[in-house]
Structure 1
Amino acid sequence: MKKYIFMTLTVVLLGLTACTEDAFDRINKDNEHPSPEAVPAVLQLTDAIMSTGFSTVSGDFAFYLSSLNEQEIGMGNNQLMFAEMRNSSEWAASTTFNNVWNSIYGNLQNIRQMQSKIENEVPGNVGQSDILGMAQVLEAVNFGILTDMFGDIPYSEAVQGQGNLQPKLDAQKDVYTGVLATLDKAISNLEKGKSMTNAGNQDIAYKGVASKWLAAAHALKARYLLHKLAVEPNVLSEVATAVQQAIDNGFEGFTVTGFNGSTCDNPWSAYVFSRQYTAPSKTVADLMKATNDPRLDYYLNALGESYTPGDETIAKTVDDARVMQYQPTWYLFGSQPVHIMSKAELYFIQAEVQLRSNIDATSAYQKAVEASVTEILTWFGDEATVPAAATTAKAYAMSLGTPTLQKLFEQKYVAQALDEQVETYNDLRRLKAMGEEYVILTNPRNTQSGINRYPERLPYGNSAVIGNPDVKEAYGDGSYIYSEKTWINGGK
């Protein structure tokens, strides 16, 4: 009898154990946050676009490079003061750009997941050529900016998650081949999907209009082809073709919108509202004053002032967060869009190609200037003043006369002082590699005791320096950033 009682209890206990395990399985299942595999690719699009605009384009890169390019002055007696003083412990530290390094690679993992779902025909994602093309455009931008800033980067083995935690470094030349190939794939997919509307309101750049993404893909192809000019002088005809295809497809700029200046601020505005770490630079202001630029009042601060790059007094000044009197006026607006690539940049590219090819560049040059000036003046007006802004912009562009490379790069430098500092840094290094200089940087701290303190590239992120032997070896003590040029700028 005891034997049967024992067997019965055993069965009951086993049943209870099984029930308990089932219960725990249900308890531990996160029903509110499904796994990435279960989320349709389109629902990942908004985050991919926002992260590209907020972190990749207008995050730490832009804030630090604004000081390096002398498009703004770093101030606040904190990080940007050290940047302005060209402090090597700030510029060469692996911690300085660690957050944006991690953010971009995290965004790329999201973007690659999107592509995988569509390419592998996961249910709910089948046949979405438009979403696939959008994801490929975003991949190209993120990898393009990574390699422009850091040179050789993890690329071919990157963003595999647990599949490869220590991806190798790929040569920048190979990364560029991959970026341009990705843009070609995007163009092909967007051609197939340009009449599709799968993105809907998840697309905060173009509101689901795939044909506009197609134009952006051609424009970005022109940008990345032009970046190679110092090492591939014969690339101009390809650039010209890409520019024309962008124009033919109606490119009007690639921007992230949706900021309202209150509950959701433009990243540059959020930065000055919270940190007050930037002030207008005389390098920009003097160029504006020389041409009676109508943007000047919106660039200067509430004091109507600009400051000399490298000025220790202003760099150590702490602005009053309640007044923010030192911050450039155009950052106090709050609701302006983020430019992933502006209309002005495309026409500046076209004008440069034409000038270097001995073709009249007046029309392209004027369109570039008009686009930038109109946008700024429109932000600070109302609907009634929009026509006046366009008229003022057109008159100003015409007043600049026949373009030269000097005029072109001065105007491009001024236009990109708003939030395109990454591209200005690319231009300044590219021109240096070509033996040209059109914007004179005056910060005396760029050279200290006869040693260069103007970085040729930015230091790798700390997470990779610690966790990846290849990156650790390349980083060394960080001093390489002052001597090792990237491939597109005449290095290895």
Structure 2
Amino acid sequence: MKNIKITITALMALFLFQSCSEDKMDDINKNVNNPADIVSRLIITNVMVNSAFTVTGSDASFYGGIYSELNAGNHNQMYNAQIRRNDPTLASTYSNGWDNLYEQLRTLAIIIDKCSTGEEKGNYQTLGIAQILTAYNLAVLTDLYGDVPYTEAGKPGVIYQPKVDKQEIIYADVFKRLNEGIANLKTTTTYPSLGNQDVIYEGNSAKWIKAANGLLARYTMRLSLRKADYQGVINYVNASFADVDDELRLVNTSVPNPYARFQLDRRAISLAKSFYDTMVANGTADARTDAFFTKIEGEVVPFDNSKADIEGQDIYSISALISEQNPIYLLSYHELLFLKAEAQARLGLPEAQATMNAAITAAYTKKQVVKFTAAQAQTYIASIPTLTGNALLKKIMVEKHISFYENEGVESYNDIRRLQAMGNGDFIPMVNPKPELFPQRFAYGLSDVSTNANIKELFGDGTYVYKEKVWWAGGTR
């Protein structure tokens, strides 16, 4: 009996020891460097950086710039895009951008939940900024891809094959998010400012509100074919940036300009002859023409994009503005002023040319490493005759196109498609020898083409990218 008691006692002790050890092991197994829950202020910094570097400044800008002839592709996949060899129709071509956009939207949804109904309810500054960034990423997504999964997307383990939402519905949500963001940023909160966690505006809510109004101006203009509201564009611009210091851009010593980084690594993008010809047409008064591009043996050597020029690295002129310290623009001050000038010109307002001149000055003096002066801008502006009607509207759009060099390719591509849809395609003519293969949109990403039957059906063989315009450009999806 004594031996039985000893055995039972020993087993009980062992059981208690194991129970205690399991509790301890739960603590030991927690990875403090990878917590399951993070405060929103730490999450949103990463979204800001990715929205600028990965979403706006990288692949989408490279391809958009080539399709809008802001640049030319001279090597590897950029050359394939240039000559329309397979790449524009492949699901793999834009997969990185597609996946990154959905990653930002999923992360932003987490932040919005936290700050609206979750454990950080009442954190209105972070909530408002997250709503603005959601609108921004969502607009980039639908502008490039058209109809996309949205309302059912970002629910892993719940909805495996999300439905595809119409662009018209998605755009309504873009405007809704921006207006909600403005309202929340105006609401008093007991939570501290984001401060340095906000790598764009350092927790300045007033500047975020200006940025949201600027985006409202951009997207209102985007929908001009469907519902023109040029006075609305002007009103939004007037409520937005007052100068270059307010613009929506990322400048951070730890985040290199992606256009510069790509060029230094790949040397795959060069000067397009059609873009160079556009600048030469401005005359010698435009100081940018001689300074924008590198020279080879003393001469500017553009890639002739009116034909399938020779593929090769280091044989064509490239941007002379390249620097890893250059800003990554989400919305520039010069774009904002060009939006206002276009709206005024379309309304026939007499101040349109003066606004265009201010936009040209802003483009000249933007905060890049290679700088031009306001005096140089005034010399060029003085060479421009007084313009009216269609001639003025064309000049505004040409100058806006030039201002987007070198890496505001997403907006350049959006403008080209919008102008074509509105009957102004001759303002910035595309000279690619295969006009029938101008990509009207980006192809859906491989991750969804291979797993989502809704996307696979719409994708087909990929050639829809040449045939089907996005909704705001007059298409059905």
Instruction: Tell me the distance in 2 between the aligned counterparts of 1:179 and 1:241.
Output: 18
Instruction: Tell me the distance in 2 between the aligned counterparts of 1:298 and 1:97.
Output: 32
Instruction: Give the secondary-structure state (helix, strand or coil) at the position aligned to 1:417.
Output: coil
Instruction: Give the secondary-structure state (helix, strand or coil) at the position aligned to 1:347.
Output: helix
Instruction: Tell me the distance in 2 between the aligned counterparts of 1:148 and 1:47.
Output: 23
Count how many residue pairs are aligned between Structure 1 and Structure 2.
Answer: 464
Please name the residue that 1:346 is paired with. 336
1:407 maps to 2:395: yes
Quick check: 1:299–1:330 contact (8 Å CA) kept in 2? yes
Per mean C-alpha deviation after superposition, the further-off stretch among 135-144 and 186-195 is: 186-195
User: Once the 2 structures are TM-superposed, how far is the Cα of residue 224 of structure 1 from its aligned partner?
Assistant: 0.7
Per mean C-alpha deviation after superposition, the further-off stretch among 181-190 and 298-307 is: 298-307
User: Once the 2 structures are TM-superposed, how far is the Cα of residue 121 of structure 1 from its aligned partner?
Assistant: 5.0
Residues 139-182 of structure 1: CA distance to partner in whole angstroms, max 9, x if unpaired?
11100010000000111122234333322111000000000010
User: Once the 2 structures are TM-superposed, how far is the Cα of residue 214 of structure 1 from its aligned partner?
Assistant: 0.6
Quick check: 2:131–2:178 contact (8 Å CA) kept in 1? yes
Query: 2:91 is matched by which residue type in structure 1?
Result: S
Quick check: 1:128–1:193 contact (8 Å CA) kept in 2? no
> Aligned ranges for residues 285-300 of structure 1 at < 5 Å?
285-291=276-282, 292=284, 293-300=286-293
Please name the residue that 1:366 is paired with. 357
Query: 2:230 is matched by which residue type in structure 1?
Result: L
Equivalent of 2:187 in 189, 192, 195: 192
Instruction: Tell me the distance in 2 between the aligned counterparts of 1:250 and 1:289.
Output: 27
1:270 maps to 2:269: no
Instruction: Tell me the distance in 1 between the aligned counterparts of 2:190 and 2:304.
Output: 51
Residues 116-159 of structure 1: CA distance to partner in whole angstroms, max 9, x if unpaired?
2111252xx45332221111111111000100000001111222
Instruction: Give the secondary-structure state (helix, strand or coil) at the position aligned to 2:87.
Output: helix
User: Once the 2 structures are TM-superposed, how far is the Cα of residue 318 of structure 1 from its aligned partner?
Assistant: 2.6
Instruction: Give the secondary-structure state (helix, strand or coil) at the position aligned to 1:239.
Output: helix
Residues 347-383 of structure 1: CA distance to partner in whole angstroms, max 9, x if unpaired?
111111111111020221111111111126x6225xx
Instruction: Give the secondary-structure state (helix, strand or coil) at the position aligned to 1:457.
Output: coil
1:158 maps to 2:153: yes
Equivalent of 1:483 in 467, 472, 477: 467
Please name the residue that 1:118 is paired with. 115
Instruction: Give the secondary-structure state (helix, strand or coil) at the position aligned to 1:330.
Output: coil
- CA distance 1:481–1:392, change in 2 (3 Å): same
Unaligned runs of 5+ in 1: 382-387, 447-451
Quick check: 2:440–2:466 contact (8 Å CA) kept in 1? yes
Instruction: Tell me the distance in 2 between the aligned counterparts of 1:187 and 1:249.
Output: 20
Instruction: Give the secondary-structure state (helix, strand or coil) at the position aligned to 1:375.
Output: coil
User: Once the 2 structures are TM-superposed, how far is the Cα of residue 40 of structure 1 from its aligned partner?
Assistant: 1.9
RMSD: 2.2
Please name the residue that 1:355 is paired with. 345
Q: Which has the higher helix share?
A: 1
Instruction: Tell me the distance in 2 between the aligned counterparts of 1:249 and 1:113.
Output: 33
Quick check: 2:84–2:437 contact (8 Å CA) kept in 1? yes
1:444 maps to 2:433: yes
Please name the residue that 1:306 is paired with. 302
- CA distance 1:82–1:206, change in 2 (3 Å): same
User: Once the 2 structures are TM-superposed, how far is the Cα of residue 276 of structure 1 from its aligned partner?
Assistant: 0.7
Equivalent of 1:216 in 201, 211, 234: 211
User: Once the 2 structures are TM-superposed, how far is the Cα of residue 445 of structure 1 from its aligned partner?
Assistant: 2.9
1:431 maps to 2:419: yes
User: Once the 2 structures are TM-superposed, how far is the Cα of residue 110 of structure 1 from its aligned partner?
Assistant: 1.6
Instruction: Give the secondary-structure state (helix, strand or coil) at the position aligned to 2:186.
Output: helix
Instruction: Tell me the distance in 2 between the aligned counterparts of 1:56 and 1:230.
Output: 26
Please name the residue that 2:409 is paired with. 421
Instruction: Tell me the distance in 2 between the aligned counterparts of 1:318 and 1:463.
Output: 31
Instruction: Give the secondary-structure state (helix, strand or coil) at the position aligned to 2:252.
Output: coil
Instruction: Give the secondary-structure state (helix, strand or coil) at the position aligned to 2:386.
Output: coil
User: Once the 2 structures are TM-superposed, how far is the Cα of residue 185 of structure 1 from its aligned partner?
Assistant: 0.5
Query: 1:217 is matched by which residue type in structure 2?
Result: A
Instruction: Tell me the distance in 2 between the aligned counterparts of 1:264 and 1:435.
Output: 39
Instruction: Tell me the distance in 1 between the aligned counterparts of 2:40 and 2:376.
Output: 44
- CA distance 1:435–1:195, change in 2 (3 Å): farther
1:280 maps to 2:271: yes
Instruction: Give the secondary-structure state (helix, strand or coil) at the position aligned to 1:339.
Output: strand
Instruction: Give the secondary-structure state (helix, strand or coil) at the position aligned to 2:434.
Output: helix
Instruction: Give the secondary-structure state (helix, strand or coil) at the position aligned to 1:222.
Output: helix
Quick check: 1:278–1:326 contact (8 Å CA) kept in 2? no
Instruction: Give the secondary-structure state (helix, strand or coil) at the position aligned to 1:285.
Output: helix
User: Once the 2 structures are TM-superposed, how far is the Cα of residue 232 of structure 1 from its aligned partner?
Assistant: 1.5
Quick check: 1:42–1:198 contact (8 Å CA) kept in 2? no
Quick check: 1:193–1:210 contact (8 Å CA) kept in 2? no
Unaligned runs of 5+ in 2: none
User: Once the 2 structures are TM-superposed, how far is the Cα of residue 346 of structure 1 from its aligned partner?
Assistant: 0.8
Quick check: 2:64–2:410 contact (8 Å CA) kept in 1? yes
Per mean C-alpha deviation after superposition, the further-off stretch among 204-213 and 21-30 is: 21-30
Query: 1:14 is matched by which residue type in structure 2?
Result: F
Query: 1:22 is matched by which residue type in structure 2?
Result: D
Instruction: Tell me the distance in 1 between the aligned counterparts of 2:308 and 2:177.
Output: 45
Instruction: Give the secondary-structure state (helix, strand or coil) at the position aligned to 2:312.
Output: coil
Instruction: Tell me the distance in 1 between the aligned counterparts of 2:126 and 2:422.
Output: 38
Equivalent of 1:174 in 162, 169, 173: 169
Instruction: Tell me the distance in 1 between the aligned counterparts of 2:266 and 2:405.
Output: 19
Please name the residue that 1:137 is paired with. 132
1:82 maps to 2:80: yes
Instruction: Tell me the distance in 1 between the aligned counterparts of 2:49 and 2:452.
Output: 28
| TM-score under structure 1 length normalisation | 0.89
Residues 435-463 of structure 1: CA distance to partner in whole angstroms, max 9, x if unpaired?
222001111133xxxxx211111111111
Please name the residue that 1:28 is paired with. 29
Instruction: Tell me the distance in 2 between the aligned counterparts of 1:99 and 1:416.
Output: 23
Instruction: Tell me the distance in 1 between the aligned counterparts of 2:41 and 2:386.
Output: 46
- CA distance 1:197–1:228, change in 2 (3 Å): same
User: Once the 2 structures are TM-superposed, how far is the Cα of residue 475 of structure 1 from its aligned partner?
Assistant: 1.1
Please name the residue that 2:444 is paired with. 460
Per mean C-alpha deviation after superposition, the further-off stretch among 478-487 and 6-15 is: 6-15
Instruction: Tell me the distance in 1 between the aligned counterparts of 2:114 and 2:270.
Output: 45
Instruction: Tell me the distance in 2 between the aligned counterparts of 1:405 and 1:195.
Output: 48
Please name the residue that 2:64 is paired with. 65
Instruction: Tell me the distance in 2 between the aligned counterparts of 1:420 and 1:251.
Output: 18
Instruction: Tell me the distance in 2 between the aligned counterparts of 1:194 and 1:440.
Output: 50
User: Once the 2 structures are TM-superposed, how far is the Cα of residue 237 of structure 1 from its aligned partner?
Assistant: 2.6
Instruction: Give the secondary-structure state (helix, strand or coil) at the position aligned to 2:22.
Output: helix
Instruction: Tell me the distance in 2 between the aligned counterparts of 1:464 and 1:152.
Output: 13
- CA distance 1:290–1:49, change in 2 (3 Å): same
Residues 65-100 of structure 1: CA distance to partner in whole angstroms, max 9, x if unpaired?
221111111012x1111111111x211111111111
